[in-house]
Amino acid sequence: MDLRVLYLIQLGSCLLGVGAGSNTEEEEEERPEDAHPPGHKSHHWNYQDIHQWDSDYPHCGGPEQSPINVVTSATTFDSNLRPILLSGYNVPPSRTLSLENNGHTVVLDLPDSLLIIGGLPQTYRATQLHFHWGSQDDPGSEHTVNGQRFPGEMHVVHYSAEYSSATEASTHPGGLAVLGVFIQEGEEENPAFQNLLPYLQNITEEGESIEIPGFDIRGLLPQRLDRYYHYDGSLTTPPCYQTVNWTLFNQTILLSPEQMDLLEDTIHADHDHILQNNFRAPQSLNGRLVLSSFSPKVSGRRLPGAAPNPAGTSPAPDNSSPNHSSQGTGESVEASLSTGDMLAIIFGVLFSVTSVAFCLYVRRNRSRNKRLGNENKSNVIYKAATAEDNVA
């Protein structure tokens, strides 16, 4: 290969790398932590300093972290996993629920009368649900399946009924149970989410909240609660306690393009930035087992004890082979490739690798400088987090 071409590629990568690097720098400088009054908790961490979470929150560096990438062929079918059984999920409109923009996500507080009464080894009480999303161009789920990232993910957080609060439960193994739901884009408006999403316009600024009328929370979940993955993991945000019994439903839920836009483009944080890409990358499994309540070989198989679909609702599509060719990173190259395409791909890869290496180099240097500057700060021992921080 012509060396001059390679040289040009290197040069290009460097310029790109410098551009990207200084961009992030600007972003970070616009949100210095000191600009916030002390005790402003939500700024103790953010999605820009994700690789330094463990310096302030040591659990984040632990061996059983979340999210993970679920490799479906490596899951273990466990015929003892019963369908998730819920109780009290239909909240009457007279009972209002608080919806808050906490600067990391939007959180709907749930009454502790909502219960998981089946499918897990103990009874769990609901405390809140919240969302993770990407942007118009990029998917933003936290968990991935076979390397595929979904447009969004909803987490319904519960705590063991053996404890008196989510905060207390959050430090005990199995103390928390989170139901994870992948969000995909469909054509139709999802009526259940109309009870929630339009109110995002009322809480665009960080710290704002609104009381909304109760509704059937069950409607936010997929129809089939019998097909799921299970593993033991952690909170996906600081303090990253490794106390979460995770359930990831195999069936996804669908939002219309308008609903998806509302989720991705409405919530602001950090001095008016739109809050996007509020997800953490998959963490190492470190030998943990991922159990599956269903056998992948018998797709759509119903377990003997599975609850029938609620009457009167149209059957949701079985997303066992979801169509999301516009999403994610794991695209397969199907068409046969011409030599020109091949060359383009090779050059593309070379280009990206060099840029990434350069960015990493710039980042590492920058964070080294930053860490030196912040030495005193890292010694501060944060007081126990509030329930809100625990579960967001």
Ligand X SMILES: *[C@@H]1O[C@H](CO)[C@@H](O)[C@H](O)[C@H]1NC(C)=O
Residues marked active site are found at 104
Distance CA 275, CA 270 (A): 8
Residues 112 to 171: which contact ligand X by CB under 6 A?
120-121, 145-146
Go through the chain and tell me how many residues it has: 392
Residues 209 to 248: which contact ligand X by CB under 6 A?
210, 230, 232, 245
Residues 5 to 34: which contact ligand X by CB under 6 A?
none
According to the binding rule CB under 6 A, does residue 98 interact with ligand X? no
According to the binding rule CB under 6 A, does residue 332 interact with ligand X? no
Tell me whether residue 237 or residue 252 sits nearer to ligand X (CB atom). 252
Beta bridge partners of 109: 128
Choose which of 111, 118, 174, 214 interacts with ligand X (CB under 6 A).
174
Tell me whether residue 42 or residue 252 sits nearer to ligand X (CB atom). 252
Specify the 3-state DSSP secondary structure of 117. strand
Tell me whether residue 155 or residue 230 sits nearer to ligand X (CB atom). 230
Cβ(70)–Cβ(247) under 8 Å? no
- CA dihedral (360, 361, 364, 370) in degrees, to 10, reads -120
According to the binding rule CB under 6 A, does residue 314 interact with ligand X? no
Minimum separation from the CB atom of position 192 to ligand X (A): 19
According to the binding rule CB under 6 A, does residue 182 interact with ligand X? yes
Token representation of residue 173? 């193994």
Minimum separation from the CB atom of position 123 to ligand X (A): 12
Choose which of 252, 259, 266, 354 interacts with ligand X (CB under 6 A).
252
According to the binding rule CB under 6 A, does residue 354 interact with ligand X? no
Stretch that binds ligand X, among 5-13, 275-283, 318-326, 338-346 (CB under 6 A): 318-326
Stretch that binds ligand X, among 56-64, 189-197, 316-324, 354-362 (CB under 6 A): 316-324
Specify the 3-state DSSP secondary structure of 110. coil
CA 34 vs. chain centroid, Å, equals 27
Choose which of 12, 63, 147, 173 interacts with ligand X (CB under 6 A).
173
Distance CA 67, CA 152 (A): 13
Cβ(385)–Cβ(230) under 8 Å? no
For 114-131, give one letter per residue: b (16+ CB within 10 A) or e: bbbeebbeeebbbbbbbb
Distance CA 173, CA 254 (A): 33
- CA dihedral (27, 30, 35, 38) in degrees, to 10, reads -10
Choose which of 48, 164, 201, 352 interacts with ligand X (CB under 6 A).
201
Specify the 3-state DSSP secondary structure of 27. helix
Tell me whether residue 56 or residue 169 sits nearer to ligand X (CB atom). 169
Q: List residues near ligand X by CB under 6 A.
A: 72, 81, 120-121, 145-146, 173-174, 182, 201-202, 210, 230, 232, 245, 250, 252, 296, 299, 320-321, 323, 325
